[in-house]
Amino acid sequence: MGKREKIKEYIQDEIRLARLKSGDRIYSRAVFMDKFQCARATVDKAIGDLISGKVLSAEKGSGTFVATPKKRTQAKNIAVVSPELTPNTMPQEIVQGFMEAVGPETSIRFFTYNELRHPKSWEACKAQRGIVFVMPDMQHGPFILEARSLCIPHVIAYRDIPESSFVSIDNTGAVMALVDHLISEGRRNIAYVGIPESRYHFPELRYIGYLTSLLKHKLAYNKNWCAFKGRQELSVTLNGLFGNGQCPDAIIAVSMPLGEIIRVAQKAGRKVGRNFSIATFDEVASGAYPFPVLSLRGIQREVGRESAAVLTRLFETQGKIVHKYITPEIKT
């Protein structure tokens, strides 16, 4: 992204985050020149673009100001905002579930998050009756904030942003269900491996589920059986896990490749399905392994269907915030 586009994006984010409000004079050219290390001509072009797009307004002799938005005219369509939709991906499955729930009689207008960076696309999105934001990232927060400030009915799919209505996975409950099932099979020494990297708090919530279940069943916590490591460090982590004399009899793997876990466990004398169990947070296809692997059923379409139900409630009860968590079913 060039500096001209970065300046435009920065100004629009300042407006969406309400740091600049309707009628406010924008920052001086010198501020932008210093912040973005660019020439005045670059700033002038960026501001000129926003004036043409009616995001800003120029008053001769007075300066440049945040334009007063036109009164929102509500269309009958529902806007669905998502990453690029490709087959067999989580966003595509969520959107498919949403479309199944609302039916063919409902008009849907689709936008990608990249398209919303253009003021005209965002204005068109805001003009719809309601908005579904599918798996937004941190940088999309300003759009959600503006939708909230304008009282546009909207729901977040597969993220749990507390200030807005959302439908998301119960990360804590999902891992608790896996631990409970392992304990029902007689497992008592349960290890946990997961990745710490995330722009959200999902890894922490899953680990809380693991710890909560240990307390619930009065099982001892062994720090040597818990690892938050990157995928590239998995071999070292597993060798330490199974090479200290006291091996676990089950492991919960979150966003980790199962092949490596199976290889190291078998090398340590563990027989999956007999004296050792594997559970994964990700869905595993039936028959993928010659032994049972505990996993969670995918809930993407259910998230889409529930998002449709929540949005319908929001149309009926303006101003209400609805939070819905879904705990995936166990798949054996």
Q: How many domains does the chain have?
A: 3
Residue 257 forms part of a structural domain: yes
CATH code for position 36: 1.10.10.10
Q: What range defines the domain where residue 325 resides?
A: 78-169+301-331
CATH code for position 94: 3.40.50.2300
- Neighbouring C-beta atoms of residue 137, cutoff 10 Å: 11
Regarding whether 123 and 46 lie in a shared domain, the answer is no
Regarding whether 129 and 44 lie in a shared domain, the answer is no
Amino acid letter, residue 70: K
Regarding whether 312 and 206 lie in a shared domain, the answer is no
Regarding whether 132 and 27 lie in a shared domain, the answer is no
- Asked if 78 contacts 72 with a C-beta cutoff of 8 angstroms, the reply is no
Residue 23 forms part of a structural domain: yes
| C-alpha neighbours within 13 Å on the C-beta side of residue 17 | 12
Regarding whether 305 and 292 lie in a shared domain, the answer is no
Residue 34 forms part of a structural domain: yes
Distance of CA 60 to the CA centre of its chain: 44
Regarding whether 140 and 115 lie in a shared domain, the answer is yes
Residue 202 forms part of a structural domain: yes
Residue-by-residue pLDDT tens, the chain, 332 positions: 789 999 998 998 888 777 888 889 999 999 999 999 999 999 999 999 899 888 899 888 789 999 876 655 555 799 999 999 999 899 999 999 999 999 999 999 999 999 998 888 998 999 999 999 999 998 898 899 889 988 999 999 999 989 999 999 999 999 999 999 999 999 999 999 987 766 678 888 999 999 999 999 999 888 888 877 666 677 777 777 777 667 889 999 988 888 888 888 888 888 888 899 999 988 888 888 999 999 999 999 999 999 999 999 999 987 789 999 999 999 88
Regarding whether 276 and 224 lie in a shared domain, the answer is yes
Residue 71 forms part of a structural domain: no
Regarding whether 131 and 248 lie in a shared domain, the answer is no
Regarding whether 223 and 183 lie in a shared domain, the answer is yes
110 - beta bridge partners? 80
Residue 72 forms part of a structural domain: no
Residue 311 forms part of a structural domain: yes
CA distance 307 to 239: 43
Regarding whether 269 and 322 lie in a shared domain, the answer is no
Regarding whether 285 and 186 lie in a shared domain, the answer is yes
